[in-house]
Amino acid sequence: MTMLLICPSARSGVPFLSQHVPLANVPLLGQSLLEYWLSALSFQGVRKSIVLAHDQPDVVAEVVGAGQRWGMDVKVITESRELTAAEALLKYALNLDPIPRPDAIAVLDHFPGAPGRPLFTSYQNLFQAVRAWLPSALTADRVGFSEAQVGVWLGCHSQVSPLARLIAPCWIGQHVFIGAGATVGPGAIVEDGCFIEPGAELVESWVGSDTFVGQFAKIDGSLAWGNLLINWQTNSKTEVADPFLLCALRRFGHGRSPNWLKKLSELYARNKGEVGLLWKHLLLHKEG
């Protein structure tokens, strides 16, 4: 069977997400939506997929390659706009053997097997869908993660102070640093490459990749990506001006921000007891 996967273009309900990467590539618990779908299809025995991409198809293709990672033959085709499922079936059915069935076409706007939880209609639906996906994110083919305790998932190369509080359910990605006295959870998601300073608090919130959260930050019911804070319940957003409360450690699509060494030296004065771990974490992540 050949599967047609339609990558979503920008959605008005979550405008921030598609500003830098296509929605199919946004990191959701450390892995893109497209990767979750290809993994699920591989387990179902699908050996050929066609990915239709309108928004930044070259970026989509970088993730997919030729599909070898999933034991599949995957081809990315550039479209002039996002097709509907009916349009995709009409356009490609006669060129494929076997002809794809209607149920072999999917718009990637939800996790595989979870059509009742749309991702991109609003920030509230996005957070709730990602939070509900927590137990399913650690698929059989995914390495580098473990359930450190019931309902607490932890990525490799992450350093969590024994004095930090991890309250289930929560997800901590790879190359994450969490300082002493920090509280993560319940319902907290920390993506890869984040630095959570001692004393920070995260509750029912989602911290985007490579984000610094300062010791005085109390984030509740929000999405924190770089210096942008979005309340997923009210849809209100604000840009935090103080980089020692909230900021990006890495520019989207680029290397680590040039001021990260300056920030590290200033953090040294505030966290001398943990500076060795801090250096090790950031330098290893920089090299990786």
**Lowest mean pLDDT across 14-18, 62-66, 143-147:** 143-147
Q: Cβ(185)–Cβ(202) under 8 Å?
A: yes
- How many C-beta atoms lie closer than 10 Å to residue 103's C-beta? 9
**Count: domains in the chain:** 2
What is the chain's mean pLDDT, rounded?
86
Helix, strand, coil percentages (3-state) for the chain, rounded to 5, are: 30, 25, 45
Residue 162 lies in a domain: yes
- Is residue 169 located within the same domain as residue 114? no
Write the Ramachandran bin of 100: left for phi over 0, alpha for psi from -120 to 50, otherwise beta. beta
Provide φ and ψ at 140, rounded to 5°.
-65, -25
What CATH number is given to the structural domain containing 164?
2.160.10
- Is residue 91 located within the same domain as residue 183? no
Residue 129 lies in a domain: no
* pLDDT of 26: 94
This prediction has a pTM of: 0.85
Residue 128 lies in a domain: no
2-12 pLDDT, tens digit each: 889 999 999 99
Which domain, by its residues, includes 45?
2-122
Return the sign of the alpha-carbon dihedral for residues 184, 279, 272, 268: negative
Distance, in Å, from the CA atom of 156 to the CA atom of 144, rounded to the nearest integer, reads 5
* pLDDT of 266: 52
* pLDDT of 144: 81
106-158 pLDDT, tens digit each: 999 999 999 999 999 999 999 999 999 999 998 878 888 888 889 999 998 89
